[in-house]
């Protein structure tokens, strides 16, 4: 694994930008640039990609510490060599994705409802705040409640609070076996059946509806999976790992067009909102992928009615990408941002800006 410590150089860049009152746009490889709106000029890109390499990995501890610019694929390959994995199953959206970018975007894959989200696996981080101070939060141990949980706050903050330098992540053993079962059913039926399955202790590791059928992934020992299969029924899906990879990376045909794609987070059995468009169901019902030309306002309204929220993910061009927050919470987020970046060195991408200002 390539190793280079550019921590000091990155710190200099932030300090320099601070002294020149310039703005920086923190970036990994740019694999998830579609989540952001193009940077506004004048704004310099600060690439964390070169700050890479393994800092510490003791498989017996279930903890890995890596520099933020390390390619996600390298981290996953190293873990796989030791029979371990990042259990939040992050989508990479391209071969160049970095671990820092992965956490900064805070995306989790289909395993998320059953093992935990990206932020659930973050144990600690080193970072630069907007004053160029090098800070360390959390640690390399599984349990740690000393100080505010800044490391988890950083997950999903999309480079608006600071430059991630190093991340300590909890990892899990890879399951001994996996089995994917396929069941016929409409999306409406899927929501009900997913809820029923979720109430029993099946060794679930993914539960999705791909438009035509329900796909259930089970993880565990071979005996346990055979026993579960006998009781649950369903058809075993061949080439399942390809399916899950393509699902997670949005390589399936349904994801491949320019209709705006929205990501909706809501209660697992919440009925599909009455909006025109097509759906895919993920996370056992808690996450819905929605392809629609409906207006952002209509989507936000429908979500607000059911206590969920929506965000534009990719495709097309929409006037608003994030559901507006209530005013007091919006103000709090702005103050939090100021707490980390009082002089506004880190450019807030306009998409996030809708939340923050």
Helix (H) or strand (E) holding 248: helix 240-248
Pick the piece of the chain touching other proteins (CB under 8 A) from 3-11, 19-27, 145-153, 234-242.
Answer: 145-153
- What distance in Å separates the CA atoms of residue 198 and residue 202, rounded to the nearest whole number? 8
Residue 11 gets the label, from left (phi > 0), alpha (psi -120 to 50) or beta, of alpha
Choose among 243, 250, 244, 241: nearest CA to 289: 250
CB of 155 to other proteins, least distance (A): 6
Per CB under 8 A, does 38 bind other proteins?
no
Say how far apart CA 83 and CA 326 lie, in whole Å.
44
Residue 27 Cβ vs other proteins, minimum distance, rounded to whole Å: 19
Could you identify the residue written with the tokens 């501890």?
A: 61
| Of residues 59 and 96, the one with the C-beta less far from other proteins | 59
In angstroms, give the least distance from the CB of 95 to other proteins.
26
Q: Between residues 51 and 112, which has the closer beta carbon with respect to other proteins?
A: 112
> Between 50 and 307, whose beta carbon lies closer to other proteins?
307
Q: Would the CA dihedral through 116, 161, 319, 296 be positive or negative?
A: positive
When asked if residue 58 is in the footprint of other proteins (CB under 8 A), the reply is yes
Long-range contacts of the stretch 106-109 (C-beta < 8 A, 24+): 106/155, 106/156, 106/157, 106/158, 107/32, 109/248
Site size toward other proteins, by CB under 8 A: 87
Structure tokens given for 246: 């393509």
**Peptide bond before residue 237 is cis, with ω within 30 degrees of 0:** no
Helix, strand, or coil (residue 337): helix
Site for other proteins in 248-277 (CB under 8 A): 264-270
x-marked contacts with other proteins along 94-133 as a string, rule CB under 8 A: ------------x-----xx--xx-xx--------x---x
Using CB under 8 A, pick the residue from 333, 344, 350, 353 that binds other proteins: 333
Q: CA 207 to CA 180: how far, in whole Å?
A: 9
Q: How far is the CB of 61 from other proteins (least distance, A)?
A: 5
x-or-dash pattern for other proteins, window 273-302, by CB under 8 A?
----------x--xx---------------
Tell me the per-residue interface mask from 59 to 78 with other proteins, x by CB under 8 A, - otherwise. xxxxx---------------
User: Given candidates 40, 200, 236, 316, which one binds other proteins under the rule CB under 8 A?
Assistant: 200
Which residue in 21, 41, 145, 239 binds other proteins (CB under 8 A)? Answer: 145
Which residue in 73, 135, 232, 351 binds other proteins (CB under 8 A)?
135
Q: Cβ distance 58 to 136 under 8 Å?
A: no
In three-state secondary structure terms, 186 is coil
Interacting residues with other proteins between 167 and 196 (CB under 8 A): 172-174, 176, 195
Q: Does 335 bind other proteins (CB under 8 A)?
A: yes
Using CB under 8 A, pick the residue from 8, 77, 236, 339 that binds other proteins: 339
**How does DSSP classify residue 254?**
G
What does each C-alpha distance from 186 to 171, 191, 249, 259, 282 come to in angstroms? 35, 9, 23, 22, 14
**10 Å Cβ neighbour count for 80?**
11
Compare residues 148 and 276 and give the one whose CB is closer to other proteins: 148
**Minimum CB distance to other proteins smaller for 29 or for 280:** 280
Instruction: Please report whether residue 91 would count as binding other proteins according to CB under 8 A.
Output: no
Which one, 44 or 140, has the nearer CB to other proteins?
140
What residues numbered 201-240 form the site for other proteins, per CB under 8 A? 201-203, 220-221, 223-224, 226-228
User: Is residue 344 part of the contact set for other proteins (CB under 8 A)?
Assistant: no
| Binding of other proteins by 326 (CB under 8 A) | yes
Query: What SS3 class is residue 14?
Result: helix
In a 13 Å sphere around the CA of 132, the CA atoms on its Cβ side amount to 15
E strand or H helix at 178: strand 177-184
């Amino acid at each position: 694994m390539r190793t280079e410590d550019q921590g000091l150089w990155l710190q200099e860049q932030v300090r320099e930008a601070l002294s020149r009152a310039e703005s920086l746009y923190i970036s990994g490889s740019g694999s998830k640039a579609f989540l952001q709106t193009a940077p506004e000029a004048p704004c310099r890109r600060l690439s964390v990609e070169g700050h890479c390499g393994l800092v510490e990995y003791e498989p017996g501890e279930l903890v890995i510490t890596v520099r933020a610019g390390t390619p996600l694929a390298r981290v996953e390959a190293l873990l796989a060599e030791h029979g371990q994995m990042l259990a939040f199953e992050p989508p990479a959206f391209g071969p160049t994705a970095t671990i820092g970018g992965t956490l900064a975007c805070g995306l989790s894959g289909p395993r998320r409802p059953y093992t935990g989200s990206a932020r659930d696996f973050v144990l600690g981080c080193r970072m630069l705040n907007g004053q160029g101070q090098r800070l360390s939060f959390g640690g390399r141990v599984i349990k740690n409640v000393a100080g505010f949980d800044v490391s988890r706050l950083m997950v999903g903050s999309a480079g608006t609070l600071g430059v991630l330098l190093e991340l300590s992540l909890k990892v899990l053993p890879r399951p001994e076996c996996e089995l994917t079962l396929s069941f016929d059913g409409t999306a409406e039926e899927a929501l009900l059946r997913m809820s029923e399955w979720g109430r029993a202790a099946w060794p679930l590791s993914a539960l999705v509806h791909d438009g035509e059928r329900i796909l259930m992934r089970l993880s565990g020992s071979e005996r346990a999976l055979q026993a579960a299969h006998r009781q649950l029924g369903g058809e075993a899906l061949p080439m399942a790992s390809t399916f899950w990879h393509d699902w997670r990376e949005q390589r399936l045909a349904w994801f491949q067009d320019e209709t705006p794609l929205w990501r909706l987070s809501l209660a697992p059995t919440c009925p599909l909102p009455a909006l025109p468009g097509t759906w895919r169901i993920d996370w056992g019902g808690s996450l819905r992928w929605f392809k629609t030309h409906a207006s952002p306002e209509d989507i936000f309204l429908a979500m607000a009615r059911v206590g969920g929220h929506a965000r534009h993910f990719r495709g097309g061009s929409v006037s608003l990408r994030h559901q507006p927050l209530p005013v007091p919470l919006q103000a709090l987020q702005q103050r939090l941002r100021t707490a980390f970046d009082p002089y506004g060195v880190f450019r807030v991408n306009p998409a996030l800006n809708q939340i923050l200002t």
